[in-house]
Amino acid sequence: MTSLTAADRSTVLHHRPPLDRVNPVTKVLAVLILSVPLLLTIDWVSASTAVLLEVMLFPLSGLRFTALLKRALPVLVFAPIGGISMLLYAKPGGTEYLSLGFVRVTDNSIELAVAVTIRVLALGLPTILLFARVDPTDLADGLSQITKLPSRFVLGILAGARMLGLFIDDWRSLALARRARGLGDRGVVRRFASMAFVLLVFAIRRGSKLATAMEARGFGAPNERTWARPSRLGRADLVAVLVTIVIMAFALSTAVLAGTFRVVGQ
């Protein structure tokens, strides 16, 4: 996960962005608030209002616009997928434009398709805006100290997850080694599977050794643990939560007022 921090350096503007002052635990809450209510409805008004408001707040995140676009690219590319499926298979309603086997393109399905596409964007943005610059250690500190999740689990998972960076070098060597063994010409899928398997073996082995090292440093003992880095909540956190609640309230109420609010499955 250090790859996150390395990327930060190229994406950050020079002053300390306001969102950095928000505790990572609050960011998790914010992402939940910004996503769950939207799941209740599929309509283009609530989704686009949410997207608009979130984009307006994006300067607070400290990301450069190009970095935001780069991270948002998968969302932008795949959002239409959900849309097309909805376009072709939603329950029919209103004027019918096309009918082919199971496929029924109708007013209803078009409306839903557009709404779902924008909704995918609204659901994907918060993660990008809030988590691009989060340090996993800070998140772990917050989860243990503030939400009081068991530290054995939080820190054990943090330590194991750190190994992400090590895999990249192994992957490159694995690929070169297969060329050297005469296996580089054919069978991409087979090669991929074989490399993935070796990676898993390495991962489990390293994890087992890491667990021993952690236990040797007294981890997992029943006594009370202290924290070298305090994790605290402050005004910025309160503001962040309030802002997200306001965004959601605004998005949902404009949908109700516009008459487009529709509960899923209605």
Partner 1 sequence: MSASTKISPSERAASRTLRWRVVDIVVVAVLGVATGLIFWAWNTLGSLWYAGASAVTPGFGGIAVGIWLLGGVLGGLIIRKPGAALLVETIGAIVSALIGNAWGVTTVYSGLAQGLGAELVFAALAYKRFGLVPAILAGAGAGAGAWLLELVMSGNLEKGVEFNAIYLGSLLVSGAILAGVVGWALVRALASTGALSRFASGRDARREV
Partner 2 sequence: MPGAAATGPARVVARDWGWRHAGRKAWAVRDLDLVIEPGERVLLLGASGAGKSTLIHALAGVLGGADEGESHGSLLVDGVPPERARGRIGLVLQDPDSQVILSKVGDDVAFGCENLGVEREEIWRRVDASLEAVGLDLPLDHSTSALSGGQKQRLALAGVLAMHPSLLLLDEPTANLDPAGVAEVRDAVARLVDDGSSTLVVIEHRVDVWRELMTRVVVLDADGGVLADGPPDLVLDDVGQRLADAGVWVPGIPLGLAPRPVSGPSAAVITTDDLAIGRTRKQPVQERLGLAVPEGAATVIVGPNGAGKSTLALTLAGLLPEITGTVTAAPQLAGRLGSRPIRWKSTELLTRIGTVFQDPEHQFVSSTVRNELGVGLQALRWSRTAIDERVSEILEALGLGRLAEANPFSLSGGQKRRLSVATVLAARPAVMVLDEPTFGQDRRTWLSLVRLLQHELERGATIVSVTHDAGVVEHLGDHRILLEPLELGRRAA
Which chain residues interact with partner 2 by CB under 8 A? 1-2, 5, 135-137, 158-159, 162, 165-166, 170, 172-174, 176-185, 194, 198, 201-202, 206, 209-210, 212-219, 221, 223-230
Out of 21, 178, 191, 206, the residue judged to bind partner 1 by CB under 8 A = 206
Closer CB to partner 2, residue 5 or residue 66? Answer: 5
Which string of b and e fits 129-140 if b means at least 16 CB within 10 Å?
A: bbbbbbebeebb
Residues 194, 14: Cα–Cα separation, whole Å: 44
Q: Which does 167 bind (CB under 5 to 8 A by kind): partner 1, partner 2, none?
A: partner 1
Q: Is residue 245 involved in binding partner 1 (CB under 8 A)?
A: no
Q: Which does 178 bind (CB under 5 to 8 A by kind): partner 1, partner 2, none?
A: partner 2
Question: Under DSSP, is residue 237 helix (H, G, I), strand (E, B) or coil?
Answer: helix
Out of 52, 57, 149, 163, the residue judged to bind partner 1 by CB under 8 A = 163
- Helix (H) or strand (E) holding 153, with range, is helix 151-161
Q: How far is the CB of 163 from partner 1 (least distance, A)?
A: 6
Q: How far is the CB of 158 from partner 1 (least distance, A)?
A: 8
DSSP 8-state code for residue 9: H
Six-digit token string for 69: 């676009």
Q: Which does 75 bind (CB under 5 to 8 A by kind): partner 2, partner 1, none?
A: partner 1
CA dihedral 71, 73, 78, 80 (to 10 degrees): 130
Closer CB to partner 1, residue 42 or residue 234? Answer: 42
- Helix (H) or strand (E) holding 196, with range, is helix 188-216
Q: Is residue 97 involved in binding partner 1 (CB under 8 A)?
A: no
Q: Is residue 58 involved in binding partner 1 (CB under 8 A)?
A: no
Q: 104: which strand partners?
A: 99
DSSP 17-85: PGGGGS-HHHHHHHHHHHHTGGGGB--HHHHHHHHHHHHHTGGGGTB-HHHHHHHHHHHHHHHHHHHHH
Closer CB to partner 2, residue 135 or residue 250? Answer: 135
User: Beta-carbon neighbour count of residue 115 at 10 Å?
Assistant: 23
Q: Which does 250 bind (CB under 5 to 8 A by kind): partner 1, partner 2, none?
A: none
Q: Is residue 125 involved in binding partner 1 (CB under 8 A)?
A: yes
Q: Which does 248 bind (CB under 5 to 8 A by kind): partner 1, partner 2, none?
A: none
